[in-house]
Structures are given as structure tokens and as C-alpha cells.
Structure 1
Amino acid sequence: MTFIGRLWTSVLLCAASLGPAGPAWAEHPGAPEGAEQTVTYKPDVTFTLRTSISGGKLVFVGDRGAIEGVVNPDLKVPEGAVVQINLVNGDGATHDIAVPEFSARSDQISGKRAATAIVFRAAKNGTFEYLCTLPGHKAAGMVGKIIVGEPSTEVKVQAPQIANDPTRVGTPVGNRGPRQITVDLLTTEIEGRLGDNSTYRFWTFNNKVPGPFVRVRVGDRVTFNLSNAKESTHIHSIDLHAVTGPGGGAAVTQVPPGQTKSFSFTARHAGLFVYHCATPMVAQHVTNGMYGLILVEPEGGLPKVDREFYVMQGELYTARTHGSSGLQEFSLEKLLAENPEHMMFNGSLDALTKIYQMESQVGDTVRIFFGVGGPNLTSSFHVIGEVFDRVYDQASLTSKPLTDVQTTLVPPGGATMVEFKTDYPGRYLLVDHALSRMEKGLSGFLTVKGKADDTIFHSDEPIDPHSGH
């Protein structure tokens, strides 16, 4: 069958799902007189894309008209238009194309010059994704935007940035003696940025997810003052796993909006500990962003390293699917089923890939303070292309560390500390090695700069900065 024939067949199949929903209907041309006619329609807008490999990425490329040659072009259409997107296979691998927001998805195609198409009605204004749904292909670059409506009506996210900076790790305690430490935290409920085109109503400590990195030492006397913003609509609290006392502090910090409650404790155990809100229902408070880490350094402090980073893994349970635009509403049903739509490091889907830069130089020793806010899923923490020289299992800082570890398990409400030397330049990917979670937003970059040593790694092939395993 010819290219046009294959596309026309796909159009006929897709048209049936639209139903008789508009005036753009016509009889199938070329049918013999008197024969039963196949009802189809004339699309209002048609685009043709082809699959390609560009800059080491899998991409869609505009094939005709104004978008010709453009990588992952923005497809702009009027609200209510019937849209046809033709896809031509340009690289020979297996692909498809989908616009999930409008329930449009093509058949899979493989082999060069194979073709398919989707047809749908752009029923509402906004910015939505078109993508290849094969596992890993979106993450490899096969995703673009379809913009429905006039530019003046395009949905734009203008919301506070709640993602926490991974370089904000406080000051090492060094060799100082015990002190009196005061920590002031404010709980807030704010609509913040989740992704480029989406927001969520986060509940936070100090307007950040995760909350501030708290750094003390064994023997310090720590006073926590927890205030709840007067604009809040819920009671909030704090439970620190480093605290020996009722509820880790939560029993005395159930704070109504506009009030402050306090308690003091002595840091008795060295380690890296999670803290979180512990107001019923606790899992909802945690998933909404109310978690962080407190580091209790041993006497004499931790050994000096060149770079330290603060990374926490979290989950969001929303009514709408991953990739949807606009405000994402909390789903209790999905929380109880432990089925998150979004997973992220440091609060936003691109916190460690776009918003903040984690960087080191060749020869640096890197330390990552890693925790899982959760509230439900265990992490298999891994850095692709590196091996952990030392892992402080379960964040026990007084035990002998494990050495030469590839992946380390961290439970929800748990933490670890890993250290490794960055020996070779490149971009290294932070992941949970339950790798399907990358498709829900869970990834980060560590960029290593400096001179390459061919005795460590060498290839005559160009390095693809977007590759994983």
C-alpha cells in the first residue's frame, strides 16, 4: 500500500471514534456509484511529522510546510478543530504517536517510510503533549506541544517555585562542641509549580519541597518553633525521626492556622533522619510535600568532601494523568492504592534536570544526602555511570560503610548517605532503578566537568549525553 493509502486507512479508522460531531463530514471519495459509502470527514488542520535521531535524541521532526525541519515543533490549532497528525517513520525503529489529553493514539509502526495517523477534536484550550508512548521514548526526546487556542488563551504556569535547591546543605559542624540551636519552620499551603504546564497545591515547610536541610551535631540542644501560616486551612505538625520523645515532636506540635508551638530535644543519635508532618491523615500531608532531612553529625563532624547535595524522592497522587496541564487535584483513591501519577526529586518534575544544576569537577569527592519522603514507595537509588565508593546503609553514620555499591535500597521515611569520586567528565543520571518511574518524572542530572582520562573510559563513538543504560 502506498504512503497516502496507509494514512487514509488510518484516518478512516480514527474517524469512527469521533462520531458525527461536526460539519466537516463527507463521503469517501472514489467509491463506485451505488456502493455503500464509508462516512469520514475533512480535518480542519493537518500536520506531518517523521521520526528521527537528532543530537543523540529520538525526536519528531516537522516534515512539511511551516514546521518542516523543526525538531518537536509546537503544533498550534484552534479550539474545536478536528486535527490530523500524520507520522512517517524516518529511522526504522518502532514508534507511535499519541495525544493523551484527547485520547488519541496511533498504531505502532516500524521500518523506514512506514506511516500512521491520529485524528481527534481539540476540544479545549490549553497546552498539551504529543509523544511516542513506547517505554523510554518520551524520556529520550520524543515529546512536543500541541497548543489549542489563540496565543492569548494559552495556559501558562505562573506559580511559585517550590523545588528545593540540592546545594543548600547548611554548614558542616566541624570539630565544635555541643551548642544550643534554634530552628524556625513555617508550614504553608501554596499552589506551586509542578512542571512546565502544571501546578499542584503543595503543603510545605518554609515554602519548599523538601523542607530545609537541618544540620546539627550529637549533643546539641535543639529548639523547634513550628508556626502554621494564618492562610492555611489545615492543622500541621512535625515528627523528626531524630527526636527521642512523644511522636518525635508531633504530639506537642499540632498547630492550628495562625499559631506557633515549640519543643526542645537533645540530639542523642548520629545519623541522617527524615522529618515530616504527622497530622492525620499523615500520608496526605507527606505526599503533598511535608518532608525533609535532619543531619545529626557525629562528634568531630563528617570527613571533608568537595561537594555535598541534598536530594529527596517523593510521590504525588492526582486525579488527572501524568502529563496533564493546569492545576492537578489530589486523589485519595490513588493514594490509598499506592499508585502515584507523578514521582520527583526535590519537589518538581524537573527540579534536578532543569531548575537546579548539580555539578562537580573531575577528581572531586561527592556526598549525597538522600532520603525518601514517600509516603509509600521504596527507592532503589542509583547513579547511572558511577559506583558508590561508600554507602552509609540506612544512614547509620557510626557503622562501617559498605563499599563499591551499585544500587542502594532506601525505604519511605528512610535515608542514606553515599560518597563517590567523580573520575570522568559527562552527565550522570540519578534514578530510582525501578526505571518505569522515570516516565513519571523521576530523574536528575549530575554534570561532571574536566579533562577526560582515556585509561578510565574510551570510545571512538560520539558520547550521547541523553542515554541511560
Structure 2
Amino acid sequence: MSHTEHEDPILRTSPARVGKMLAILLGIMIIGGAIFFLNYGYWNSYLPTAGKIQESLGKSAAPGQGQVTGKTINVNLSFVESPDFKVYAFNTVSLSDPNHNPTINANVGDKIEFDVKNAGKSFHAFAITTSTSGPGPAIDGTTIGTADDPMKPGSSGKVSFVPSQAGTYYYICAVPGHRELGMEGKIIVAAGTAAPSGAAVKPTGNKVEFTVSFVMSADFKQYAFDALPGQAGTNPDIKVKSGDTVTIHVKNDSKSFHAFGVVTDPNDPSSVLWDSAFGTPDNPLKPGQSGDVTFVAGAPGTYHYICTVPGHAALGMDAKFIVE
């Protein structure tokens, strides 16, 4: 064979077969993508395993938020410092002023609403703890800012605390060293005699009905009931009488998955009261679904109706359920 002659190439496949293989792969990708995006709300409804682990590690083992009695205590606090920055305190640096680090008295189950402002010139972070010294650990759900991401001068925030056990708690600045300089106040909690909020009550025979709808913005960043934040009618209060038989008509007008429940603590979707749940995080309402739930409203107090799918209440699906 001369050097000008070439052997015919041996084909391992054919252009037609390559085309079919590419078509199959493309089809699988399109179908997989469609399944993912059509169920985006479902995938977004649950924390990944790593997130659940991290969430559990961040919780304090100290006695924390409990069931409410219906009583709310409003407390206004301000971080302040002396001009020479040697004395740190809440409200005033004057030790003789009764508003200096005021002691808060409450009963188990009372809801203490803190409105906290950084009126100083330094950085601060608010927390409630059972620890008698140091910056914590903080009771889960009672912080405003952290030592790594503190409140800047002039900023403010709100947080609530429902003690579940009697004892002495402390509200502090969680920035290391600031508590030792004076930013510490006491919360003295007595056992109290109020009935727990979850206690059953005798039905009055009065029947009331309400309709709530799950709604979301197109970019999945805003969650609410009835109307988006900033629009009229968003997250309306529901007011009933203790003993009323309440029927809630629930509609899922969003493109995600949701579940309804009246709870004592909006940060704890498992604190559902009075068999008021409709759907669950494991068996939620699909987009377009609706249904009814009927229950008897219990002891007077301010509760919350939320989406019980983890994370959705924090994103905005959290409104007041008031029992008078």
C-alpha cells in the first residue's frame, strides 16, 4: 500500500444514533427542569438537613418561650452610656433613677414585649438569658442583633418573651464586656395562677366564620395572608370570644405549599392550639386548594395564625388571633 492510500475510517456509531442520544438527553433535562420549577414551592418549604442541624445547635437549652396567659407587658428600653464610656446601662446611667435597668415582674405565660432602641454611641445587642454572668447563652428567639452583627447607634428593634418557668432571667447587652459595665436588668417571673392558653373551654354556642388566603409575590420574597405587605388588608387581625365555635375557610391563592394553624408562638409551628390545624408541613395545601377547619376558641389572649410550613411565618405569614 502506497503512502497516498488511506484506510476507510471505522465508525463506532452513526450520526443518526448520536442525534437520537442527544435528543433523549435533552428531553430528560427539560422534563427534570419542568418538575423542579413546577414544585419550587415544595422544595423551598423545608430546611435542608444541614440547616436543621445548625438551627438546633443555635437553640438555648435554657427554659424559654412558653404558652401565653393572655397578659401582655410592654417594656421600652434604650442602650445608653456615660460620656466617658465607663458606665453602660439601660434607659439612664443614673443609679438613683428608678428607670435605671428597671426590674420587670411577670408571671409564667405572660408575654413581655420589648421595644429596644440603641440610644448610645456604641454598638450593642439585646438578649435574654438565665446565665448570671457573661453574654449568654441567649434564650432562643429573644435576641436583637448579635455580637458579630450588633445594633448600630440609632437603630431599634422589637422582640417578645414568654417565660415557661418561674425564676430570675436577665436582659442584657450581649456584646462581650458590656454587661459587666452595667447593661443588665432582671426579669422576675412568678408561677402565677392563670390557666394555660391551651386549656379547653365550654363552647358558648356562638358561631363565627372567617376566610383567609395564602398569597405570595411573584418573586417568592413576600409571604402574607389576603394581601401582600404594603397593600390594604394584609394579615388582618381575627377577633373572637372565648368559647366561640370558629370556622376558618382557608384558600391557597399562591404558587407554593402552605398549612394553617393558630399557635401560641409564631416561631414554633408545632405550638398549634385547639385542633385548629388545616394541612401540615408534611401534607400541605397545594396551590389552588382550599378547605375549612372548625374549632372552639380557648382562653382569652393574643395568639397568632400562621403558615405552619417552617420558615413561612418568618417570611410574613403571621397575623394576630385575638380571643376576648
Bin for the TM-score computed over the shorter chain: 0.3 to 0.5
Q: Which has more strand, going by share of residues?
A: 1
Q: TM-score of the superposition, structure 1-length normalised?
A: 0.29
Q: TM-score of the superposition, structure 2-length normalised?
A: 0.40
